[in-house]
């Protein structure tokens, strides 16, 4: 059953199954939190009802799903379908965040808000507002800070990488993407992280995804299970592969910005890391 409780800092915590949301709103907070809790009640059941189809590889013949969140997943993934193996599960966390934030905006007069679903964040900034954001790597290491203004029209932040919640085909420790929606950022971060790689390198160990999780939508694709220290040149080469993909997504208008991290090395597309000016949102990899 879904659970809801208030946290310090006037935040709302909603949890059900794999979805663990931290929500904050400014202006119309009570109405916004009621709307978020109500919409969250049925989200997991709606996704589960179409789960087998959502785990299938996306193709031009894939049928559009029925549920609202599943449709968000479908629409977010479709522009990326030519990149390679992709299922609509790549957008599930971001789509849940987008859906809950949409309900909040429909039922409350809020000036700023975010819905953080395990690091995939749907963001609303009213006119003239801004928000400072921290990028956190595995283990909570601070990788940098940015500031997002309403004029930037960024509605989603997502972070993916090898140490994260899901399996990765690449070796990136962290890839953070800013996009118009959390669902789009979720997909893009996954695909960019997959591209940060050195195929066949002896320092990298891999294993079939289904051996690690029989329910994985990646099937028997080899996911990275370990990566020994690499040289600076090797890190640069791997990051360059990911940056090429990020640059392509940015040129197509699918993402706003991306930052890629690997063993102390960074690549951006384009992305400006700032020192903190106010209390940030923590974006966990």
Tokens at residue 127, please? Answer: 């006119």
Write out the chain's pLDDT in tens, 285 residues: 889 999 999 999 999 988 999 999 999 999 999 999 999 999 999 999 999 999 999 988 899 999 999 999 999 999 999 998 899 999 999 999 999 999 999 999 999 999 999 989 999 999 999 998 878 776 677 777 888 999 999 999 999 998 766 789 999 999 999 999 999 999 999 999 999 999 999 999 999 998 988 888 888 899 999 999 999 999 999 999 999 999 999 999 999 999 999 999 999 887 554 433 444 444 433
pTM, full prediction: 0.91
Domain assignment of residue 207, yes or no: yes
pLDDT for residue 167: 86
Q: Which residue range(s) make up the domain with 112? A: 7-284
Domain assignment of residue 252, yes or no: yes
pLDDT for residue 164: 65
pLDDT for residue 2: 87
User: How many domains, the chain?
Assistant: 1
**Contact partners, residue 108, CB within 8 Å, separation at least 6:** 25, 27, 28, 29, 30, 31, 32, 35
Question: Could you tell me the CATH number of the domain that includes residue 213?
Answer: 3.10.520.10
Positive or negative, the CA dihedral 18, 164, 268, 25 is positive
How distant is the alpha carbon of residue 279 from its chain centre? 21
Domain assignment of residue 78, yes or no: yes
Domain assignment of residue 255, yes or no: yes
Domain assignment of residue 76, yes or no: yes
pLDDT for residue 230: 97
| DSSP designation for 108 | S
Domain assignment of residue 107, yes or no: yes
pLDDT for residue 175: 94
pLDDT for residue 271: 58
Domain assignment of residue 2, yes or no: no
Domain assignment of residue 100, yes or no: yes
**Contact partners, residue 285, CB within 8 Å, separation at least 6:** 119, 135, 136, 137, 138, 159, 160, 161, 163, 164, 173, 174, 176
């Amino acid at each position: 059953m879904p659970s809801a409780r208030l946290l310090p800092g006037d935040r709302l915590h909603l949890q059900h199954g794999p979805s663990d949301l931290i929500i904050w709103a400014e202006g119309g907070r009570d109405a916004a939190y009621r709307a978020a809790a109500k919409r969250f009640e049925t989200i997991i059941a709606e996704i589960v009802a179409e789960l087998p189809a959502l785990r299938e590889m996306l193709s031009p013949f894939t049928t559009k799903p029925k549920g609202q969140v599943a449709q968000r997943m479908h629409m977010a993934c479709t522009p990326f379908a030519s990149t390679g193996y992709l299922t609509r599960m790549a957008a599930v966390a971001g789509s849940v965040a987008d859906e809950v934030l949409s309900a909040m905006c429909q039922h409350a007069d809020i000036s700023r808000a975010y819905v953080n679903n395990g690091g995939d964040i749907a963001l609303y900034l009213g006119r003239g507002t801004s928000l400072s954001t921290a990028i956190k790597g595995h283990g909570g290491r601070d990788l940098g800070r940015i500031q997002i203004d309403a004029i930037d029209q960024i509605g989603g932040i997502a972070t993916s990488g090898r140490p994260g919640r899901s399996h990765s085909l690449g070796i990136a420790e962290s890839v953070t993407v800013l996009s118009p929606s959390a669902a789009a950022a979720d997909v893009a971060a996954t695909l960019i992280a997959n591209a940060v790689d050195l195929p066949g390198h002896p320092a990298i160990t891999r294993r079939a995804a289904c051996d690690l999780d029989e329910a994985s939508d990646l099937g028997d694709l080899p996911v990275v299970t370990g990566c020994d220290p690499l040289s600076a040149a090797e890190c640069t080469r791997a990051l360059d592969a990911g940056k090429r993909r990020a640059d392509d997504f940015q040129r197509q208008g699918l993402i706003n910005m991306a930052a890629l991290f690997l063993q102390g090395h960074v690549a951006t597309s384009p992305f400006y890391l700032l020192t903190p000016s106010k209390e940030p949102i923590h974006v966990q990899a």
